[in-house]
Structure 1
Amino acid sequence: MAVNLSSLYVLTLIFLFYPFIKAIDFNYPAIFNFGDSNSDTGGLVAGLGYHVYSPNGQTYFQKPTGRFCDGRLIIDFLMEAMDLPFLNPYLDSVGVPSFLKGSNFATGGSTILATNAESISPFSFGVQVAQFIRFKARVLELLAKGKRFDRFLPQEDYFKEGLYMFDMGQNDLDGAFSSSSEDQVFALIPSIVSEFEAGIKKLYDQGAKRFWIHNTGPLGCLPRIISTFGKDPSKLDEQGCISSHNQAAKLFNLQLHALCKKFQGQYPDANVTYVDIFSIKYNLISNFSEYGFEHSITACCGYGGPPLNFDSRVLCGQTRNLNGTSVTVRPCNDTTEYMNWDGNHYTEAANLHVSSQILSGKYSDPPLSNTMPYPLKFKF
């Protein structure tokens, strides 16, 4: 059977990428993650009973796990790079989940700003920080009762020595564009960044010292956004993405980067790493064929056909009646050919690529390679 270039690229990444990530020792005993659907490992499902349909999870887990992806997320690959188990959602109480190596507070639809009546998720960044504070207090309370909880809960020093990861902001910009002009969205960004600063200061006051902050990706390149805002060709850039949304993401990222520098200066005992996810993803979209992908802005699991294969009336895995016809949205035959999974999120193959670029150290400030015992080298 012939092997297409997409599959060959992913196989190459697996063979070249995995030996290195297994060798890297970040020396973090636990991870505490905050974010939205880009790093949600089941929080929205556990917290609101939100139904994530099959075929989500089909590539790696063979079933839906609450992740909005056919397989693993960036956070999953990074956990593997640190030789740590996948993070359990803080809100998941069934099956005696282990939080020994940390907890995931991310939930799909979450924003940095406080929620309102139209919010998808009530678990804004402020709520997630409050959940962490409660989590830490409860853990310390239980640990004080003896060793019977040691197998499931992080040790007290893990809260100081652990890594605090963040991937939020996309939904704030997305929601703002639904009801505001471009200038109004730009004017809102300082408030978003200020709210984020308040949250990480609270975590610092709780003993957090190591911060890993992802900026937001190219929002304007999501098929769902393009289908809504891209009817006027003048609004599109050379990659077919919505220019205004990407400009807002860039402005947010610029201010987020400045905040990271400010925070590091204010708290010299902290370690703040800023990761440029936007550049990694936009480079992948711009040069997708060079990396073995067949499609850049076409959803794998969608309806409507190219160029976007996205219809907001029926989403991945759903069955709906459209104009008198029953329509079931099924995935593409080969997910490794696609970068976009469902119109909103990336495929496992794309997440693997992004993770490999993160771990190359080229997109971090300070450069990640400076903190690694083994430099990463990839051949694409």
Structure 2
Amino acid sequence: MALRSYPLQILALIFSYSSIISSLNFSYPAVFNFGDSNSDTGGLVAGVAFPLGPPTGQTYFHEPSARFCDGRLIIDFLMDAMDRPFLNPYLDSVGAPNFQEGCNFATGGSTVLPANAASTCPFSFNIQVAQFIRFKARVLELLAKDRELEHYLPSEDYFKQGLYMFDMGQNDLDGAFKSKSEDQVLAFIPTILSLFGTGIQILYNEGARNLWIHNTGPLGCLPRIIANFGKESSKLDQLGCVKSHNKAANLFNQKLHDLCRMFQEQFPEANVTYVDIFSIKLDLISNFSQYGFKEPLAACCGYGGPPLNFDSRIACGQTKNLNGSIVTANPCNNTTEHVNWDGNHYTEAANKHISEQILAGNYTNYPMSESAKINQYICSSDNYSHD
């Protein structure tokens, strides 16, 4: 059926919406972040003892970063875009960190599902939400006693005006594949997202109104996943990524988008932004040479050489005795040529590219409340007809 006529009002509304997408109003007084290693700026290092040492990586200012990267993460670039300082982790109280413009509750290895004794990280989403509630209550308590603390803590208004960022779910899918079949993993996705929905509703009840939600990336394109699950060529797609894991990530993202839209409809005061990280990362891996990269899948910091430079027995930066030889998983000479850093995470160069795509608005449904208004207007208009 072809669209017969469009009234000028609808066209004007669409063009107005397009301008919103292309120039994000990305300015908030504070940011409160929840997530895993993709946005952990030091939480896991502060909260967990590492018998083998903390994650390796150097930030661009040449100091230990405690990030799972060779430099800045996506969230670091987004904070730069808002002209805000990098977020201090909630768990790091050493050195009296400044939380005036936000706080990072993300910790590497975190899951949406509640942590148990076998979990890599104890700080799952429900714990991060509980930490935020405690943080907010303590901040308001302290500010009531001493207003001078506003130089170090967010003011009460910041909790409602601030941006609440989320980047979780990858570890839940990853963990599920270790004990479940592909069909079982797919069937398990609604359970994961139900718990995520509960968490963001709790935060909404605490005053969160601006929600910025990243979907999960192409899990099947991580060198670690390819090394473990892609030993048979039939399990790989044309890019060399594991089909089952990317299929699960795609379904997770579809359901997450549905959850975001339903949340927006249920809570009209919320401003829900859904960011398609999967498409950005998959485009980067698919068209890596166009963006100045030479290695789309191989880890920069690893061991084993081409095609993946990844060996599960030795992590980035470690030295071990493998089969009678002392070997070290060293970084590559030029990290800017690699999309992947250590088999699990992206390089600073890749994160910079991803952030630029986010800020351009090309993969961002922002805000879903405005999108819903436009769709409702177009679909309910009597001024157009179909053949």
Q: Same fold (TM over 0.5)?
A: yes
CA-to-aligned-CA distance 1:292-342 (integer Å, 9 cap, x gap): 100000000000001100001111111111111111111000000000000
- Paired amino acid for 1:73: L
Determine helix, strand or coil for the equivalent of 1:26: coil
Matches within 5 A, 1:309-328: 309-328=309-328
Task: Provide the rounded CA distance (Å) in 1 between the counterparts of 2:246 and 2:93.
Answer: 38
Matches within 5 A, 1:150-299: 150-299=150-299
Deviation at residue 148 of structure 1 after TM alignment = 3.1
Deviation at residue 24 of structure 1 after TM alignment = 7.5
Q: Answer whether contact 1:53 1:318 (CA < 8 A) is retained.
A: no
Determine helix, strand or coil for the equivalent of 1:144: helix
Task: Provide the rounded CA distance (Å) in 2 between the counterparts of 1:359 and 1:283.
Answer: 16
Tell me what 1:52 maps to: 54
Deviation at residue 25 of structure 1 after TM alignment = 5.9
Deviation at residue 152 of structure 1 after TM alignment = 0.9
Tell me what 1:374 maps to: none
Q: Answer whether contact 1:40 1:67 (CA < 8 A) is retained.
A: yes
Task: Provide the rounded CA distance (Å) in 2 between the counterparts of 1:53 and 1:136.
Answer: 29
Tell me what 2:3 maps to: none
Task: Provide the rounded CA distance (Å) in 1 between the counterparts of 2:73 and 2:367.
Answer: 22
Deviation at residue 367 of structure 1 after TM alignment = 6.5
CA-to-aligned-CA distance 1:156-212 (integer Å, 9 cap, x gap): 000000000000000000000011100110011000000000000000000000000
Deviation at residue 245 of structure 1 after TM alignment = 0.1
Q: Answer whether contact 1:52 1:68 (CA < 8 A) is retained.
A: no
Aligned length: 346
- Paired amino acid for 2:359: L
CA-to-aligned-CA distance 1:254-311 (integer Å, 9 cap, x gap): 0000000000000101100000000000000000011110000000000000110000
Task: Provide the rounded CA distance (Å) in 2 between the counterparts of 1:280 and 1:95.
Answer: 36
Q: Answer whether contact 1:60 1:72 (CA < 8 A) is retained.
A: yes
Task: Provide the rounded CA distance (Å) in 1 between the counterparts of 2:188 and 2:25.
Answer: 39
- Paired amino acid for 1:243: K
Task: Identify unmatched segments of 5+ residues in structure 2.
Answer: 1-22, 372-387
Tell me what 1:8 maps to: none
Matches within 5 A, 1:324-339: 324-339=324-339
- Paired amino acid for 2:54: V
Q: Answer whether contact 1:25 1:82 (CA < 8 A) is retained.
A: no
Tell me what 1:76 maps to: 76
Task: Provide the rounded CA distance (Å) in 1 between the counterparts of 2:33 and 2:329.
Answer: 31
Tell me what 1:350 maps to: 350
CA-to-aligned-CA distance 1:67-105 (integer Å, 9 cap, x gap): 000000000000000110000000001001000000000
- Paired amino acid for 1:52: P
- Paired amino acid for 2:280: I
2:95 is the alignment partner of 1:95? yes
Task: Provide the rounded CA distance (Å) in 2 between the counterparts of 1:240 and 1:60.
Answer: 31
Task: Provide the rounded CA distance (Å) in 2 between the counterparts of 1:124 and 1:28.
Answer: 26
Task: Provide the rounded CA distance (Å) in 2 between the counterparts of 1:110 and 1:24.
Answer: 29
Task: Provide the rounded CA distance (Å) in 1 between the counterparts of 2:72 and 2:54.
Answer: 15
Determine helix, strand or coil for the equivalent of 1:297: strand
Determine helix, strand or coil for the equivalent of 1:171: helix
TM-score (norm 1): 0.89
Q: Answer whether contact 2:113 2:195 (CA < 8 A) is retained.
A: yes
Tell me what 1:36 maps to: 36
Q: Answer whether contact 2:65 2:71 (CA < 8 A) is retained.
A: no
Deviation at residue 53 of structure 1 after TM alignment = 4.5
Deviation at residue 227 of structure 1 after TM alignment = 0.3
Deviation at residue 117 of structure 1 after TM alignment = 1.9
Task: Provide the rounded CA distance (Å) in 1 between the counterparts of 2:268 and 2:362.
Answer: 23
Deviation at residue 365 of structure 1 after TM alignment = 1.2
2:123 is the alignment partner of 1:123? yes
Determine helix, strand or coil for the equivalent of 1:211: strand
- Paired amino acid for 1:266: Q
Structure whose CA Rg is larger: 2
Deviation at residue 252 of structure 1 after TM alignment = 0.3
- Paired amino acid for 2:123: F
Task: Provide the rounded CA distance (Å) in 2 between the counterparts of 1:138 and 1:264.
Answer: 29
Tell me what 1:9 maps to: none
- Paired amino acid for 2:349: A
Task: Provide the rounded CA distance (Å) in 1 between the counterparts of 2:156 and 2:300.
Answer: 44
Identity %: 70
- Paired amino acid for 1:357: Q
Q: Answer whether contact 1:24 1:81 (CA < 8 A) is retained.
A: no
Once superposed, what is the RMSD of the aligned Cα atoms?
A: 1.5
TM-score (norm 2): 0.87
Q: Please identify runs of 4+ aligned residues in structure 1 that moved more than 6 A.
A: none
Deviation at residue 146 of structure 1 after TM alignment = 1.4
Task: Provide the rounded CA distance (Å) in 2 between the counterparts of 1:278 and 1:329.
Answer: 28
